Each structure stands twice: as structure tokens, then as C-alpha cells.
Structure 1
Amino acid sequence: MPILNTNGIMIHYEVKGEGKPIVFTHGASWDSSQWREQVAALENEFTTIVWDVRGHGHSSLSADKFDSEDFVKDLISLLDHLQIKQASLCGLSMGGHISLQTAIRHPHRVSSLVLIGTPFTNQFNWYEKIAVPINRWTNRIMPISWLAKLQAIVLSKYNPANRVYIEEAVRSLSHSDWNRLWDVISRMESKEDLEQVHCPTLILYGEHDSLIKRQQVYMHERIKDSILFPIRHAHHATNMDNPQEVNERIRTFLRAESKRAPIHLGGSSL
């Protein structure tokens, strides 16, 4: 199990395959195992890199104060460690936002983005401005076992096989670490920076994803070189709900980007 010591923490990562590098960043409370279907489908054509964000999976979380900029620093440190000058970044939810912020802060290190179920703010409308603070409060009083079970039930509707993985991943977090992480994650903000993204960007969202669906057209309209795609039969666990369609969209996008060819994926809006 490769470990990178950086920025006062230990980062777990895995590299498979050969070819153009693509780095996968998981969603909040999950870990790098989320991407097993994508790695299996793409490692014969690309260098796939998965990692556990600090405080998740096998990566550590120090007692020091941190913010979302540290997530970006960790990802850049991983690229440096692997001697990768530029890579495609793919992320779901929190992982998409980390990838997005990396492209904004370090545009020369990111050749393209794949943003799956990605929020770029937690204050998009009045609902989020009210609901997110309430959510932070409920997370402070809810046992992690309850949160794990609730997530697993809600996000396994379109693929029942998700349930065991999600519950185990969330249960692996301590209550205190999760609340420290969620307090930072739920304050990530990129709404005013979207137009700074200039690399080719594939935006995917589950057609039934009630958590982030309302933000996707807005993001697509402000990232100039982006295409927007719904994924059928999928909620917020999009890459696990319908891995076949997600894999094909990513593969087609990366092939086109590698050839510097126009991307024709039949993108649509909400």
C-alpha cells in the first residue's frame, strides 16, 4: 500500500495501468475504493491513480487546523511525488470540487476535468443557505453508525450493491474526524471562479441526483470548454450506480482530449 508523507499527514494512493494519467478523487466520507469499476475499465489504456483524501480511508488527519486549500495542496503533492507534470482530474461530489479547485489554482497541472455530481458551492440558493447549516448541526449529534446506514439506504436505490460499501466506508470514520472534515467540505466555495477554468471539462450528473442537479447547468454555462451529460438510472453515487455509462463517457472524452479532437458526446442540458 503506497503511502506519501506530505503536508504533515500520510496519503494512501494506488497507481495502475499505463498511458495518459487520470487522477480519481472520491466523495466525502467514502474512499478510493469507490473507483474500482473505473480503474478496471480504464487501466488498459490510461494510468489510473486513486487516493484517499486526508481523513478518509487509509490517509491520516492531523490535529492541526486545515481548510479546503489543503486538499488541493495534497493533490498537487501527489502529482509531484509521482513526477506527473499534468494530468486529467476526475472526481465525484467533494472529489469533483477538489479537482475543480485544483484546476483553478494550478491550471498548468490539469489537462482536463471530469466532474461527476459536483457542487461548486453550498450556498447556491435559499434552500442550500438554510439546509447546509442545519445539516452541519445534525451531523454533530448524529452517531456515525446512523449516518452510515442512512447514506447506504438512500444511495443504493439504483444499485443495491452500493449499500455494503457505503456503510463500511462511512463507519470507518470517527465521529470527531467526520465533523472536522464536513465543516471544511461544506464551506468549499468556487462559484465566482468557474470562468477561470479553461481546460476541457466533462460534467456528468445522475439524472435522479437531487443533491446537486440544480447546480449543473449554471456550472456548464460558465466553464467555457465544457459539455454536460446526464447519466441514466443514477443518483449521487453516480459512478457506482451506472458504471458502464460513466466509464464510456470518460473513455470517449479522454480519447478525444488526447487527440486534441473535438468532443462529440451528444451532451445535453437539464
Structure 2
Amino acid sequence: MPLIQTNGIELFYTERGEGEPLVLLMGLGADGSLWEEHVRAYERHFRCILVDNRGAGGSSQPIGPYSTKIMAADTLGLLDALGIERAHFSGISMGSAIAQEAALSAPDRVISLTLNCSWSMCDAYTKCVFETLGNAYSLMEADDFQKLLQLIIYTPAYHEQHLSVLETAQQAALAHPSPMTIHAFLSQCEACISHHTAGRLGAITAPTLITVGDKDIFTPLPLSIAIAEEITHAEKQVFEGSGHTHHWDRLEEFNRVTLDFMLRHREAIQARRDEDEA
């Protein structure tokens, strides 16, 4: 099994494709396998490294506290173990918060940075969202919790068009053989709440792309705008009519936009190699 020891825990990861390394960090309560629909596009160009964050999937679920800074150290330790000096980083939701901390703590290791449905600090509303999800996970059956989560991350339009898909996901959550423990989920929620890079993001020099849905009610659009105001060189892509899951409900467009960005910012040595092969 692809497990490595890092930062005092076992971290589970999988690899797909060849090329420059691309670290993929998923969000709250999710494991790296949820990148599947994106990796199908990315793996033709990049060595994709799908990480199960601390507390999720096949990784250790230690007692907290967790923080995005700790999880960034986990990820950088994974790169050390794999002998990778530099990589592209892309994170969705909590994964984007982890990616911010990685870029701040090890700027020389980041080729490009993609922040999807992100935030630099919780406002009162977003703090309440994470607290409510933590309480719900502690109290609700898995299918009911999945339904609540879907109401927050998917738009009403997506529910109208894909209700059967959402209902299947609810039943899958109920049948999951090894669900995330309550303490691990709560610890990830606390990491999201305590995440605070506001005022520091201006130090990020890596090429940066910010993507967000304008109907996101989980981490609303103004939170991404605040990041863009600090990382002044960042590119920003707003998916109109889409919510927190713009990366899924606008899959082809999202893959095209993010892949184009990363390909434009491959290191010169790789770009020259590709030109020679062509």
C-alpha cells in the first residue's frame, strides 16, 4: 500500500501519470479518490499525487488538534519521502487552505498554485457552517448527513437536474465500510475554522489561479475575492451559476481552465523537453 511516514503519522497517497509532479489536495472529510474526474485530464501531462489528508481515507486519524499548517507539513513530508523538490499544488476547499500554507512555508517548492473555492480566514458565517457540519456529523446518520452536505455544496439547479445522482451518493455514504471517525471529522472542521493566512498571502510569488462559483454558499465568492486582492498577480475564474462544487458540475470547463493554467506554468526544462519530443 502507498503509505509513508510523515510528521508523526501514516499518510496514504496514490500516483497517476507522468511529468512534472502535481499535488492534489481534497476538502473536508474527503479522500484523494474524489479527484478522479480531474485526474483523467491531468494524468496525460502530470505526475498526479492524490493525497488522503490527515484524518481521511487511508491516512492516520490521530486525535486532534489538526491545522492547515500541520496538514501542509504532512504534504511536504510526503514530497520529501518521494524525493520531489518542486511540484504544482492544487487544492479544493480545505485542500486549498492546506495548499496556501504549503506555499507560504516552502515557496521554493511550489511551481504553481491553484486555489478552488477557498478562503484565507473564516468570517462569522463560514465559521457557523463548519461548526454546524461538525455537529451534524456527530449526530446524524450518514445518509442524512450526506443530504445536508449536498444542500450546502450543490446548487438548487444541480438538485433539479441530478437528484438521482445525489440520492445514490446518500446511500453510498450509509453503506461505506469504514467511515471517517467523528473525532477526525471534527478535527478537520477545527482546522478549517482556525485557518488564517489573511495578511500573509502577499508573500506568495508562485503563479496562482483562483476558481470559485458565484453561487457558493459554503465558502462564498467574497472570500475568494479577498485572496485575489492579496495575491495581486493571481488569475481568477468565476463560474457563473455554480456553487461550491463548480469543479464537478462544470467539470469539462473546470478541467480545461485549470489544465491550461498549469501547462502554461510548467518549468522551462519540462517545456523544452516537450518541444524536443514534438
Q: Which residues of 2 match residues 161-240 of structure 1 at below 5 A? A: 161=165, 164-165=168-169, 168=172, 172-212=179-219, 213-240=221-248
CA distance in 1, matches of 2:245, 2:35: 11
1:119 alignment counterpart: 119
Does the 8 Å CA contact 1:155/1:163 hold for their aligned counterparts?
no
Report the alpha carbon displacement of residue 189 of structure 1 after superposing the two structures with TM: 0.7
Tell me: CA distance 1:184–1:18, structure 2 relative to 1, closer, same or farther (3 Å). same
Does the 8 Å CA contact 2:31/2:57 hold for their aligned counterparts?
yes
2:139 alignment counterpart: 142
Report the alpha carbon displacement of residue 13 of structure 1 after superposing the two structures with TM: 0.5
User: Aligned pair count?
Assistant: 257
Does the 8 Å CA contact 1:41/1:247 hold for their aligned counterparts?
yes
Tell me the TM-score normalized by structure 1: 0.85
Identity %: 26
CA distance in 2, matches of 1:84, 1:178: 29
Report the alpha carbon displacement of residue 139 of structure 1 after superposing the two structures with TM: 4.1
Unaligned runs of 5+ residues in structure 1 are: 261-270
Tell me: CA distance 1:200–1:166, structure 2 relative to 1, closer, same or farther (3 Å). farther
CA distance in 1, matches of 2:114, 2:265: 12
Q: Which structure has greater helix proportion?
A: 2
User: Structure 1, residues 86-137: CA drift from partner, whole Å, max 9, x if none?
Assistant: 11100011000100111011101111101000111113xx5446x3585377
SS at 1:192 equivalent? coil
CA distance in 2, matches of 1:184, 1:237: 20
Unaligned runs of 5+ residues in structure 2 are: 269-278
1:2 alignment counterpart: 2
CA distance in 1, matches of 2:196, 2:218: 16
Tell me: CA distance 1:166–1:46, structure 2 relative to 1, closer, same or farther (3 Å). farther
Report the alpha carbon displacement of residue 174 of structure 1 after superposing the two structures with TM: 2.0
RMSD: 2.5
Does the 8 Å CA contact 1:57/1:169 hold for their aligned counterparts?
no
SS at 1:176 equivalent? helix
Tell me: CA distance 1:133–1:236, structure 2 relative to 1, closer, same or farther (3 Å). closer
Q: Which residues of 2 match residues 244-263 of structure 1 at below 5 A? A: 244-258=252-266
Q: Greater relative contact order: 1 or 2 (C-alpha under 8 angstroms, separation 6 or more)?
A: 2
Paired letter, 2:153? L
Tell me: CA distance 1:181–1:128, structure 2 relative to 1, closer, same or farther (3 Å). closer
1:268 alignment counterpart: none
SS at 2:27 equivalent? coil
